[in-house]
Chain A
Amino acid sequence: MSVLELTNISKHFGAIQAVNDVSLSIEAGQVVGLMGDNGAGKSTLVKMIAGNFPPSHGTMQMDGKDLILHKPVEARQHGIEIVHQDLALCNNLTAAANVYLGRELRRGIGPFRILDYAAMYKRAGQIFAELKSETRPRDLVKQMSGGQRQAVAIARTMLSQAKIVLMDEPTAAISVRQVAEVLNLIRHLRDQGIAVVLISHRMPDVFDVADRVIVMRRGRKVADKTIASSSPEEVTGLITGAIEQV
């Protein structure tokens, strides 16, 4: 059974049709590459799954149950985690504080609860070790490299038992070595049975790590096929419109 199922999803902003009648399903333990040119509707689609705004038409189902989201927090409660393109980090806070932002650990009784710094540092450190990233939980994010910042953003998705992780251009602004690290991390998530949606412009990354590729153009889904049965040339053609649909 699929983890996430979208049926005839559309979204328009006034007269602009951003996403038009898109249906797709995502299986557990599968990496899906979501590709398309700027303005193809990828981000809008992802934002609906993330609970940033509701679809104008169509339904979303998770594990066979209807999924209606009003806020990003609700998506998270359903096990949907997002790594935003700008990473959504606060430079003035420590790595651990960023990892736990919005779901801080506290200790104490009833209303008298204080932040549990020790537990947050400890768990954040464990996650960074698991990610094989040299990131210190106590350091300010301000002082960190691109790869470390990426690790902080990705560490967030590992706090709870996520079912599906959406990654918006995770390899766009980092070094070659760090790209390899991020791709390894995606495989690591997949091996745990998590579904990963990888939004990317980088053809090699998608063909390296994804099991399936979905291509969008002008708000419509124009292809949805396994990586094995496709090729970078075909996908490029689909993105630009040289190939109409497959």
Chain B
Amino acid sequence: MAVTLDQTIAQKQHTLLSRVFASQTFWVVIAVILACLFLSVATDSFATTKNLYNITRNVTFVAIVALGMTFVIITGGIDLSVGSVLCLCSMVLAVTMHAGYGIEVGIAAAIATALIIGAFNGILIAYLGFPPFVVTLGMLSIARSLAMVASNNTVIFQFGPDHDKLLALGGGAWVFGIANPVLYTILLALITGFVLRWTKFGRHIFAIGGNEHAATLTGVPVRQIKVAVYMISALAAGVAGIIQTGWLGAVTTNLGNGMELQVIAATVIGGANLAGGMGTAFGAVVGAALIEVIRNSLGLLGINAFWQGTFIGGAILMAVLFDRLRNFRRNE
């Protein structure tokens, strides 16, 4: 039977299953599950409620920031300032509350700080054409220094009248014994996934990462969207900072130091492409989970902590290797 043009056009090339198997995120999920199974058998301490509670909570800070970073990376940009912005926002929150203001004022101040920094980064990048790497590298330095200025480089551990509320916000477990930060992460991941897949804004972010020139020519508001993604990234860092402050119960000026690298690693392991045009919310969370499981397992298996970097670096290279292998096959 001859195949008509209409049939050809209506044909679907990929089934749901083939798409799942082709995705890097899927294989990272498998890796996380295998690692967890192995650790449950190999150690007595992994599959305990307390350890799992710790792991899931530790994942969240990197995961939340990675969700914001995903937006930036999909557009083909990068945000190196997230660790410092996290620190600055925590410090703004701490200083405001320490001065006797309520938790609402503190959070509003921290969020406002994040948005202003994000807008500053975004405007330099989108309107003045600065390279994202340079702008956010500068901000990495500026934000941490401002955090030191704000606190006079002291540790803040008293948060005024709403001290207990803040600690409950970050350290509590309001639903079914799941740590609060985990709930926030799930919520934020769902929102991010929805925005990327179902909104015009999300579609345009992918278009900018795929071909910025084409996006401009077809009338996508490229500049506004770029400013927005850097604001989202800074906002994610700010939110993570607020939660982390509540969990730690103290803020120091080296909070979030070097975190940007972990965050970028998480997004890349989860399938985002630093060249732009690819990335998912689920991938960012799974990437963060894999890093944390590796970290945790090294401790439990009694391996010297100095090896941590080697294993995490190896995971990054492995994840990208899978992607390269798939492309080689396609090109042949």
Contact with A along B1-40 (1 / 0, CB 8 A): 0000110111111100000000000000000000000000
Given A88-B218, A103-B219, A115-B199; A129-B9 close (CB under 8 Å): yes
B9 proximity list for chain A (CB < 8 A): 125, 128-129, 134-137
A88 CA to B216 CA in the complex, in Å? 9
Given A104-B200, A114-B199; A88-B213 close (CB under 8 Å): yes
A128 CA to B213 CA in the complex, in Å? 24
Any A CB within 8 A of the CB of B63: no
A106 CA to B203 CA in the complex, in Å? 12
Any B CB within 8 A of the CB of A24: no
A102–B218 touching, CB < 8 Å? yes
Contact with B along A59-95 (1 / 0, CB 8 A): 0000000000001110010000010101111111100
Among candidates B10, B204, B214, B215, residue contacting A125 with C-beta atoms closer than 8 Å: B10
A90 proximity list for chain B (CB < 8 A): 206-207, 210-211, 214-215, 277
Closest 6 pairs (CB-CB, A-B)? A90-B210, A92-B277, A88-B214, A102-B219, A92-B210, A102-B218
Among candidates B198, B209, B217, residue contacting A115 with C-beta atoms closer than 8 Å: B198
Output the nearest chain B residue to A89 by Cβ-Cβ distance.
B214
Given A90-B277, A114-B199; A73-B219 close (CB under 8 Å): yes
A86 proximity list for chain B (CB < 8 A): 213-214
Query: Nearest chain B CB to A101's CB is how many angstroms away?
Result: 4
A92–B6 touching, CB < 8 Å? no
Q: How many A-B residue pairs have CB under 8 A?
A: 88
A103 CA to B218 CA in the complex, in Å? 9
A128 CA to B220 CA in the complex, in Å? 23
Among candidates A73, A101, A138, residue contacting B207 with C-beta atoms closer than 8 Å: A101
A9 proximity list for chain B (CB < 8 A): none
With A90-B210, A103-B219 given, can you name 4 additional A-B contacts, CB distance below 8 Å?
A91-B210, A93-B210, A101-B220, A129-B9
A181 CA to B51 CA in the complex, in Å? 65
Query: Nearest chain A CB to B151's CB is how many angstroms away?
Result: 40
Any B CB within 8 A of the CB of A97: yes
Any B CB within 8 A of the CB of A57: no
B206–A92 touching, CB < 8 Å? yes
Output the nearest chain A residue to B209 by Cβ-Cβ distance.
A92
Contact with B along A142-160 (1 / 0, CB 8 A): 0000000000000010000
Any B CB within 8 A of the CB of A12: no
Output the nearest chain B residue to A97 by Cβ-Cβ distance.
B203
Contacting residues of chain A (4-44) with chain B, CB-CB under 8 angstroms: none
Output the nearest chain B residue to A91 by Cβ-Cβ distance.
B210
A132 CA to B106 CA in the complex, in Å? 62
A223 CA to B211 CA in the complex, in Å? 37
Among candidates B10, B11, B220, residue contacting A102 with C-beta atoms closer than 8 Å: B220
A89 proximity list for chain B (CB < 8 A): 211, 214
B210 proximity list for chain A (CB < 8 A): 90-93
Any B CB within 8 A of the CB of A234: no
Any A CB within 8 A of the CB of B278: yes
A115 CA to B197 CA in the complex, in Å? 8
A134 proximity list for chain B (CB < 8 A): 5, 8-9
What bracket does the count of chain B residues touching chain A fall in? 20 to 34
B5 proximity list for chain A (CB < 8 A): 129, 132, 134
Any B CB within 8 A of the CB of A139: yes
Query: Nearest chain B CB to A133's CB is how many angstroms away?
Result: 8
A156 CA to B219 CA in the complex, in Å? 12
Query: Nearest chain B CB to A112's CB is how many angstroms away?
Result: 10
B211 proximity list for chain A (CB < 8 A): 88-91
Query: Nearest chain B CB to A149's CB is how many angstroms away?
Result: 12
B8–A91 touching, CB < 8 Å? no
A106 CA to B217 CA in the complex, in Å? 21
B277–A91 touching, CB < 8 Å? yes
A106 CA to B204 CA in the complex, in Å? 14
Contact with A along B196-234 (1 / 0, CB 8 A): 011110011011011101111111100000000000000
Query: Nearest chain B CB to A71's CB is how many angstroms away?
Result: 7
A90 CA to B277 CA in the complex, in Å? 9
Query: Nearest chain B CB to A136's CB is how many angstroms away?
Result: 6
A88 CA to B14 CA in the complex, in Å? 25
B204 proximity list for chain A (CB < 8 A): 102
A139 CA to B8 CA in the complex, in Å? 12
Output the nearest chain A residue to B216 by Cβ-Cβ distance.
A72
A102 proximity list for chain B (CB < 8 A): 204, 215, 218-220
Output the nearest chain A residue to B217 by Cβ-Cβ distance.
A88
Given A88-B213, A129-B9, A134-B9; A71-B199 close (CB under 8 Å): no
Contacting residues of chain B (217-273) with chain A, CB-CB under 8 angstroms: 217-220
A84–B277 touching, CB < 8 Å? no
Q: List 29 A-B contacts (CB under 8 A).
A: A76-B219, A84-B217, A86-B214, A87-B214, A88-B213, A89-B211, A90-B207, A90-B215, A90-B277, A92-B206, A93-B206, A93-B210, A97-B203, A97-B207, A101-B207, A102-B219, A104-B200, A106-B200, A113-B200, A115-B197, A115-B199, A115-B200, A125-B6, A129-B6, A129-B9, A134-B5, A134-B9, A136-B11, A138-B13
Query: Nearest chain B CB to A141's CB is how many angstroms away?
Result: 9
Output the nearest chain A residue to B218 by Cβ-Cβ distance.
A102
A115 proximity list for chain B (CB < 8 A): 197-200, 203
Select the residue from B13, B198, B210 with max chain A CB neighbours within 10 A.
B210
